[in-house]
Structure 1
């Protein structure tokens, strides 16, 4: 079965441009948060797991240090005869993000065998776009893939499509620049295939979707919707049946456990020859014996105290006798 390469590059700014007409434009921080598997940005992943760092710093560290990295990218300008550094605009595209995927199911892959492919992808990215600030591997989606990030004060100057589009920009028509963009991206895909993919037996171009007339498309779309509705109904019936079966099993289990507990309780009542009254009498007797012991304990304490007093008194008598003998005894 043929396997096809997949690579994609895009650029992002720290904040969305005020000229943007879309309200869903993603920023650098959105992209890096998704790569870091921050919950709010990775809800499309069924069971998110932390990415594996392959190169550079983590995506979280890159997000935290993005402004600091861009300070080194500030351009020098001369104003009033003095050289000053011009900070990079907040809405300038400063992050080039690339995705390189391996066309095999994540659960069926031996990561150690595929790892060289991803390391070659990182080297290809480095040769193509310069430094690599971060590269991370995701194993929690359908296909294994890596995200590679490069920071620049103008990331679009690194993007081959935007470079070609700018060189062919025309006020009269945007068709020429659009064609130039597509051709440049095709060349990028060719380069990636020649440099990396072909060494791992991956095809350059994937299966093309058949183009059909709009009327046929609508018919096909309705048929697909009908097929999907029928599948959904069947699945609902299956799940409902499974739920009923599970409910019956739980009810049966509950009844069996209830009968078992009631039987054990009845057996305990029959075999236990100590009545409640006998237990109460024994408890009362034990309390009485305890009170007697406490009283005896108090008597013993009193005797010990009196004995100590007698010992002290005896010592005083001995002392006085000794003093008397010294004063009035034979000389």
Structure 2
């Protein structure tokens, strides 16, 4: 394999300047089995840079609320919505349909992130981007559902966080088009059909954002799988990665060997120095 790639240069992928928008469901309590141990309270405290919730930020800076209320207040609205909801379930022992309180680990709010490439700096373009994004969010979800938008400038990429909560008389699918798509195909549909409907709906969210915001700021509508290696490029990359690993290991071994040689050399010098001192003492002060 080495001879196959030695005459080639390492493959390089062009950095993409694509848009980034992501939405996620959050509940009052962390759902059982979820990999991300965050509930809506933790997310809001992290967004507001509350001490103890933003340890991943080197120098936290208090965010600026550019729309609506404090995220912590949006959490209270989401909790209130969750307490007012009921769920209809089938009770097997009695073979009847009954209503139960809404579980606290069921999603009650959508929290999203809109980010820009790291080359962007805080200035007029970023301000216009924020205003355009907020206008799109307000049109898409409605001013009554869009409760808060905050600006973060203390991380690698400038970004916005936004909070969306349904109205009291609405279901959660009103604010999450992926969940709505699953409801439309029906829970009795196969898993593959439900997943396909969900992905198509979330892809349309990316299309909407690009048409209303992204394309006016030079951001491309790129898929998650952008800038992938071909199979030949992948093998080529593996070869160079292995060569770097061998080179680093060789440098470590050489450094260790040099350190041992220097230690032995210094040890010999100290021994010779001690022997010389003993000889001089014997000459100057004979017994």
TM-score (norm 1): 0.57
2:79/2:108 contact within 8 Å kept: no
- Provide runs of 4+ in structure 1 moved above 6 Å: 231-235
- Cα distance in 1 for partners of 2:139, 2:78 equals 22
Aligned: 1:132 with 2:151: no
Q: 2:116 aligned to 97, 102, 111, which one?
A: 102
Cα offset for 1:223? 5.1
- Residue of structure 2 equivalent to 1:118: 130
Q: 1:147 aligned to 161, 168, 172, which one?
A: 161
Aligned: 1:26 with 2:48: no
Q: 1:48 aligned to 43, 47, 60, which one?
A: 60
Larger RCO (CA under 8 A, 6+ residues apart): 2
Moved more, 216-225 or 50-59: 216-225
- Cα distance in 2 for partners of 1:233, 1:49 equals 43
- CA separation of 1:203 and 1:23: change in aligned 2, threshold 3 A: closer
List gaps (5 residues or longer) in structure 1: 78-84, 238-331
Moved more, 34-43 or 49-58: 34-43
Counterparts of 1:214-225 in structure 2 under 5 Å? Answer: 220=237, 224=241
Aligned: 1:168 with 2:185: yes
Q: 1:193 aligned to 210, 214, 232, which one?
A: 210
Local SS of the residue matching 1:143:
coil
Counterparts of 1:29-108 in structure 2 under 5 Å? Answer: 29-63=41-75, 66-68=78-80, 74=85, 88-105=102-119
Cα offset for 1:166? 2.7
Cα offset for 1:199? 1.4
Local SS of the residue matching 2:158:
strand
Local SS of the residue matching 2:231:
coil
Cα offset for 1:54? 0.5
- CA separation of 1:15 and 1:227: change in aligned 2, threshold 3 A: same
Cα offset for 1:126? 1.8
- Structure showing greater Rg: 1
1:54-73 C-alpha deviation (Å, 9 max, x unpaired): 011112333355434656x6
- Cα distance in 2 for partners of 1:64, 1:179 equals 34
Cα offset for 1:167? 2.1
2:19/2:219 contact within 8 Å kept: yes
- Cα distance in 2 for partners of 1:138, 1:148 equals 11
Number of corresponding residues:
223
1:274-308 C-alpha deviation (Å, 9 max, x unpaired): xxxxxxxxxxxxxxxxxxxxxxxxxxxxxxxxxxx
1:105/1:142 contact within 8 Å kept: no
TM-score (norm 2): 0.64
Cα offset for 1:76? 12
- Cα distance in 2 for partners of 1:21, 1:70 equals 20
CA RMSD of aligned residues (A): 3.6
- Residue of structure 1 equivalent to 2:266: none
Aligned: 1:208 with 2:227: yes
- Cα distance in 2 for partners of 1:156, 1:224 equals 46
Q: 2:22 aligned to 5, 8, 11, which one?
A: 8
List gaps (5 residues or longer) in structure 2: 1-14, 89-98, 255-287
Local SS of the residue matching 1:208:
coil
